[in-house]
Amino acid sequence: MPLIVSDRYSLIIGLGVTGFSCAQYLARQGERFCVVDSRQDPPFLQQLKSEQPNTLIHLGEFALDLCLNASQIILSPGVSLQEPVLVEAAKAGVPIRSDIDLFAQAARKACVPIVAITGSNAKSTVTSLVGEMAKMANLNVAIGGNLGQPSVSLLADNIDLYVMELSSFQLESTTGLGASVACVLNVSADHMDRYNNLMGYHQAKHRIFQACKAVVVNGNDALTNPLVPDTVTQTRFSLGEPDVGQFGVLTKHGEKWLAKGMYCIMPVKKMALKGGHNIANGLAALALGEAAGLPMDAMVSTLTTFTGLPHRCEHVANIDGVSYINDSKGTNVGATVAAIEGLGPELKGKIILIAGGEGKGADFSDLAAPVSKFCKQTLLIGADAQRIKQVLFDSSIFFDAKDMQTAVSIAHENAVSGDLVLLSPACASFDAYDNFESRGLHFSQLVRALI
């Protein structure tokens, strides 16, 4: 029996957290919709059946007729646009949208500004930091997207500002976001198992700039430069001395300062976030916050208290003078390079790096130089340990640790006072863990058991 519905409807593809949030949102709007998922038992199946018992749900292979008869397709970020039925639907002129489109349309209707942030690394930290700055300024701010709550679940009355982390997967099918301020923090190869090359990934990230009012650009990363009209305000941040009106670092009387132009904002040492990479994150947050109209005093106050997020260069313990850092969120090469280069120069000793997992088709060669400079040992775990080993063969002493427990044990045995044990895998966790959070928790539990 063909799965053709006579009346027009929205088709939600994917019944994970995003798809379910879209189903709830469309139900609140009184709109007709159907849901499809390739899995036989997707995560929110029973909850959707309970809340919306009359909703058509199709499980298994995607049905082309459902796609072609839809008024629009709302695509979950885990589903690629290259799915054959989606290619055919696009050819037939069926609009393919994301949950971000639904969110942005509602936010614009309510005249609530959006700060939109993406990047290969640090987007969760910077999004949270800007959100905390807005709270410090006594704004009613909603923070989410790829971080925390899905976008349409954030929609509510009396919101003053939305601060959104967006992934390349979400942005692929987003059109005309129209953010008040948009930023690509950095671009390094990631998700090469989904994209044909770095350019495809780069292009997905840059969709964040569609119809934006102002942009923030990383002056140390040319791949963040947007193609936007001259009428769009641009602010730059970098780790060098800033030009007039831009954000950067000044050295005054031997002390480093976060600065705008020649104006010193605050000493770097007063930031609660530590590590050279977090100086860039603080500057990005200042530039984004200022573009969104946040007062400088509230932003500075936040920088003195915001210590970061779990699993993002999170300090776990200091044991016999050895620091243990959980950077399980370092799921790509760029993130691990940033962690090593950010933490390494501050050490009296060296880094013992725990790396490995599911590499997502990544090229690990960029790890070689920072590992050679700052690491005395590398402990390899997970599915792609051998691929990393080939790249690091001449860069440090390495061990095939096989699993996290073995890696922590070897690190503990070999570390001396002044060293730092860093879990920053440069890989996804799905070969051995449900997610990067569970991987980081396991590391932290093993470390605390040493105390």
Phi-psi region of 108 (alpha: psi -120 to 50; beta: other; left: phi over 0): alpha
Q: Please name the helix (run of DSSP H) or strand (run of DSSP E) that holds residue 297, with its range, or none.
A: helix 296-303
Catalytic pick among 146, 186, 326, 332: 146
Residues making up the chain, counted from first to last: 451
Give the side-chain half-sphere CA count within 13 A for 383: 13
Return all residues near 420 (Cβ < 8 A) that are at least 6 apart.
322, 323, 324, 325, 343, 347, 349, 350, 351, 352
400 phi, psi to nearest 5 deg: -85, 95
- Eight-class DSSP state of 144: E
CA torsion, points 324, 326, 330, 334, in degrees to nearest 10? Answer: -30
Give the helix/strand (H/E) hosting 142: strand 141-145
Q: Is residue 146 flagged as an active site residue? A: yes
Which of helix, strand or coil describes residue 249? Answer: strand
Among candidates 213, 209, 168, 190, which has minimal Cα distance to 78? 168
**How far is the first Cα of the chain from the last one, in angstroms, to the nearest whole number?**
64
User: Which residue out of 186, 191, 311, 350 is catalytically annotated?
Assistant: 191
Active site residue 414: no
Q: Look at the block and give the residue holding tokens 């243990």.
A: 324
- Residue whose C-alpha is closest to residue 52's, from 70, 65, 34, 36: 34
- Residues sharing a CB contact under 8 Å with residue 362, sequence separation 6 or more, in sequence order: 189, 190, 192, 332, 333, 426, 427
d(CA 183, CA 165): 10
Q: Which of 121, 123, 281, 329 is catalytic?
A: 123
Catalytic status, residue 123: yes
The catalytic residues are 123, 146, 191
